[in-house]
């Protein structure tokens, strides 16, 4: 982690869950971390919690479904911090919205956040990395096991489709970086069930989320940053095509 000390990371969806755990880890290791979400109060609290850490938290209010909010955030990052070195595309959500009976607005919100917001952030982050000459820059995508397997539960089918899109985007971004002869890395992380606010938001019920999280021994948000068991790692030279 030493080479990242003092460098700039953006973590989307930083207010709670996996995003907040990533912010803690990066700031403790000395990075300047721009944490964004709609609820800025929770990121302000994270900033206070981490005041004595090596790095710092810079809270930004940003609705990632709104392109202007994203562009304003990247303008601020460039002006005040000189551009990003690491972009963690973590924000994401699911609605219970089956394919044959779900609400169109729920499908659209998942597309806007899980696919479009993530892709705009990646485009702008790579642009800033190239402008500042951060050839060792790194893009992370918080994907999911649902980005590799379609479960039988109808409630998760559309969410799964957005995460399959994230799998395709990760591979597409890798190809475009390679074509530019860039050394910027792209990593897709696909956790199984993690106990966060995710299921509370998806099921719109604390009780139902509790029941889901009690059904198996879940991962905790810290497991993603600390001691998770990683099953498959694909390691390629940045120049490799297939």
Between 90 and 128, CB nearer to ligand NAP: 90
Between 8 and 142, CB nearer to ligand NAP: 142
Residues touching ligand NAP, count (CB under 6 A): 28
Q: Which of residues 199-218 bind ligand NAP (CB under 6 A)?
A: 201
Q: How far is the CB of 183 from ligand NAP (least distance, A)?
A: 26
Cα–Cα distance measured from residue 220 to residue 228, given in angstroms and rounded to the nearest whole number: 9
The 3-state secondary structure of 50-75 reads CCCCCCEEEEEECCCCCHHHHHHHHH
When asked if residue 72 is in the footprint of ligand NAP (CB under 6 A), the reply is no
Stretch that binds ligand NAP, among 26-34, 45-53, 88-96, 180-188 (CB under 6 A): 88-96
CA dist 19 → 11, 86, 182 (Å): 6, 14, 27
| DSSP 8-state secondary structure symbol assigned to residue 135 | T
When asked if residue 35 is in the footprint of ligand NAP (CB under 6 A), the reply is no
When asked if residue 169 is in the footprint of ligand NAP (CB under 6 A), the reply is no
CA dist 63 → 29, 54, 113 (Å): 27, 28, 9
213 is catalytic: no
Q: How far is the CB of 38 from ligand NAP (least distance, A)?
A: 3
Cα–Cα distance measured from residue 129 to residue 166, given in angstroms and rounded to the nearest whole number: 21
Query: Phi and psi at residue 63, in whole multiples of 5°?
Result: -95, 110
How large is the C-alpha radius of gyration of the chain?
A: 17
What would the two tokens of residue 53 be? Answer: 């850490």
Q: Out of 39, 135, 153, 238, name the contact with ligand NAP by CB under 6 A.
A: 39
When asked if residue 19 is in the footprint of ligand NAP (CB under 6 A), the reply is yes
Residue 140's SS3 state is strand
Between 19 and 83, CB nearer to ligand NAP: 19
**Residue 162: is it exposed, middle or buried by C-beta count within 10 angstroms (0-12/13-18/19+)?**
buried
Between 65 and 132, CB nearer to ligand NAP: 65
| DSSP 8-state secondary structure symbol assigned to residue 33 | E
Q: Which of residues 96-155 bind ligand NAP (CB under 6 A)?
A: 113, 142, 144
From 4, 140, 159, 198, active-site residue: 159
When asked if residue 90 is in the footprint of ligand NAP (CB under 6 A), the reply is yes
Cα–Cα distance measured from residue 72 to residue 84, given in angstroms and rounded to the nearest whole number: 14
Q: Which residues are catalytic?
A: 159
Q: Footprint of ligand NAP on this chain (CB under 6 A)?
A: 13-19, 37-39, 62-65, 90-93, 113, 142, 144, 191, 193-194, 196-198, 201
């Amino acid at each position: 982690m030493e080479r990242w000390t003092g460098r700039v990371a953006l973590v989307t969806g930083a207010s709670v869950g996996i995003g907040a755990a990533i912010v803690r880890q990066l700031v403790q290791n000395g990075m300047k971390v721009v944490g964004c979400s709609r609820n800025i109060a929770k990121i302000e609290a994270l900033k206070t919690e981490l005041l004595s850490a090596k790095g710092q938290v810079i809270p930004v209010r940003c609705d990632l479904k709104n392109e202007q909010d994203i562009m304003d955030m990247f303008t601020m990052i460039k002006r005040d911090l000189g551009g990003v070195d690491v972009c963690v595309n973590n924000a994401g959500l699911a609605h219970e919205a089956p394919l044959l009976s779900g609400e169109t607005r729920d499908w659209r919100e998942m597309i806007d956040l899980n696919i479009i917001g993530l892709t705009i952030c990646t485009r702008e982050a790579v642009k800033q990395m190239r402008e500042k000459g951060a050839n060792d820059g790194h893009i992370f995508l918080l994907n999911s096991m649902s980005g590799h397997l379609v479960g039988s539960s109808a409630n998760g089918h559309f969410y799964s489709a957005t995460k399959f899109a994230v799998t395709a985007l990760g591979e597409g971004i890798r190809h475009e970086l390679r074509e530019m002869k860039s050394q910027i890395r792209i990593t897709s992380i696909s956790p199984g069930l993690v106990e966060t606010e995710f299921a509370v938001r998806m099921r719109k019920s604390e009780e139902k989320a509790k029941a889901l999280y009690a059904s198996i021994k879940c991962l905790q948000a810290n497991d993603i940053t600390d001691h998770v068991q990683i099953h498959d790692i694909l390691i390629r030279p940045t120049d490799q095509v297939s």
